[in-house]
Amino acid sequence: MTVNGKAVSHDVEERTLLVQFIRETLKLTGTHVGCDTAQCGACTVHVNGRAVKSCNMLAMQAEGAQVTTIEGIAAADGTLHPMQQAFHLEHGLQCGYCTPGMVMSAIDLLRRIPDPTEDQIREQLDGNLCRCTGYHNIVRAVKKAATLMPGA
């Protein structure tokens, strides 16, 4: 598979989850494990451009795929992705545990719905749980990102 633009190849046990492969084998720890049941969204990454919960997918299922983690969305020079900028500007995080998954899901949302309503944002991010913020600033951050990512 290709992870964040770099080809990677490793032998893994058949039962290795994609999130385990990302965190333990590749040492990309920005992708978090929150529930191991695909309910919280902390492990969300992009596989072939689509947001998926990596705790619910085997690493072997991603063979040949393009995988992007939170570490792979900023520019090579360190410039934040517009969604990361928006989360920063709108204070869309507190403890930060859910933030990588939330950001990855929100990017996918704007790819599909470039100018979502507040209700659409809340509905589309329903699979990502935040126990700290109450979601108001997260929704504002996604709206802000929509202005920074025209046509997403």
Reported as a single tens digit per residue, the pLDDT across 33-62 is 988 788 899 999 999 999 999 999 999 999
pLDDT given at position 132 = 87
Each residue's pLDDT tens digit, 2-40: 999 999 999 999 999 999 999 999 999 999 998 878 889
CA-atom Rg of the chain in angstroms: 15
DSSP 17: B
Contact 92, 133 (CB under 8 A): yes
Superfamily holding 82-148: [2Fe-2S]-binding domain (1.10.150.120)
> CATH number for the 2-72 domain, one of 3.40.50.720, 3.30.2310.20, 3.10.20.30, 3.40.50.360?
3.10.20.30
pLDDT given at position 75 = 94
Residue 101 vs residues 9, 95, 129: alpha-carbon distances, Å: 24, 13, 9
Global pTM?
Answer: 0.94
Each residue's pLDDT tens digit, 94-152: 899 999 999 999 999 999 999 999 999 999 999 999 988 789 999 999 999 999 987 65
Residue 1 pLDDT greater than 60, yes or no: yes
pLDDT given at position 151 = 64
Contact 71, 80 (CB under 8 A): no
pLDDT given at position 26 = 98
